[in-house]
Structure formats: C-alpha cells, structure tokens
Structure 1
C-alpha cells in the first residue's frame, strides 16, 4: 500500500485521523485524506488537521458546492478555497468556520424550522 485516504467521519474523528497519519508516516505510506461528504464544517476540520500532519500528507479532497447557495451557509470560508494548488488555513478560532443561522433558516425543512431557536 502506497497511499491511504481515510475520512475523519469514518475512522472516528480528527484525533484518529492524526493517529492514522502518524502511523502511516512510520511505515512510509502517503496520505491523502478524504472528506467530501462531511460538508463545509468538515472542510474546516480537515483544513486544520491537515496543517498538523507529518510529511507524508500529500493532498486532500474537499467538497464543492452543487447549489449556488451552499457556501452561504457558513461564515469564514474564502470565496476561492484553492489558490495555486494550496489551501490557506482559516483564520477564525475553532474550525475556522461557523454556521450562518440566518442564511441557513431559509433552507430548513418545515419540520426543522425551530432548529436554531
């Protein structure tokens, strides 16, 4: 095995992703984390954890919006995620992103209308 692509949502979270990366590094296995199904908050987590990974980290997948309003649901995401094949760390504390509750309300299903209350 030369490259692994673990998804933090499948292997137990950020700490486990870091553990897998370090274990792979000890065995000269490259790592390209997968995270396209984890949404924009998952993207924030993946950007942050990848900044701490050892030298075997080569790339990661990121979700791209299929609906034009998707990126409006969070605050803190740059309009251009990838620049010159690189992703900058997000500057806000925590995951670097936050949910925009007001923007999100209009896309909630009727039965979830009170989700942010």
Structure 2
C-alpha cells in the first residue's frame, strides 16, 4: 500500500470507527453515503474493509507569495475520542524554514 493510500485508508478507518460508535447518527451516515457516491477511491477503500493507521508524512504546499513549502505532518489522536490534530513542522535551517521566516516579513507588508 502506498503512503498516499495508507493515509487515505487511515481517514476511512476513522470514519468506520465513528460509524460503529454512533450507529444512529443520520448526519454521519449521510456523509459516508455522499463520499461513497462522489469518490470512487473512497468507495473502494470503504468497501474493502481496509484499516489504516496515521503515520508521519511529508506534504508540499504552494504559497502564493513565497512558493513551495515542504512540511512534515503528524496526526495526533486523543485516544477514546474523535479528536485528531494535524501538526505541521519544518526542519530548522532548511529552505522551507527560510521561506517561512520570509513570510513573517511579507505578511506584515500586506
């Protein structure tokens, strides 16, 4: 399983667990039905029963003023709850750290 698929499988697993915890939640059921109807990838993952876990990953985003930023992403879960926190960090001294420092200056000028 690729990292991208593993990441997606982890979010599908979160939804599957939530639907098991809240079987009478009509809004949650409607969300899952809509995702299955609109996304072939989601429908395939949901139908497969695959279970994924959140693992650290790297994301690249493009900022309009300072260009590409490569960020480390960790997803923290509060056990026994539905709470997930995405924490983005960068290595000190790297190109992304320098660009983020530039954003501090650019942001003030807007």
Classify the TM-score, shorter chain: under 0.3
Q: Give the TM-score normalised by structure 1.
A: 0.24
Relative to its length, the structure with more strand (as a share) is: 2
Relative to its length, the structure with more helix (as a share) is: 2
Name the larger-Rg structure. 2
Q: Give the TM-score normalised by structure 2.
A: 0.25
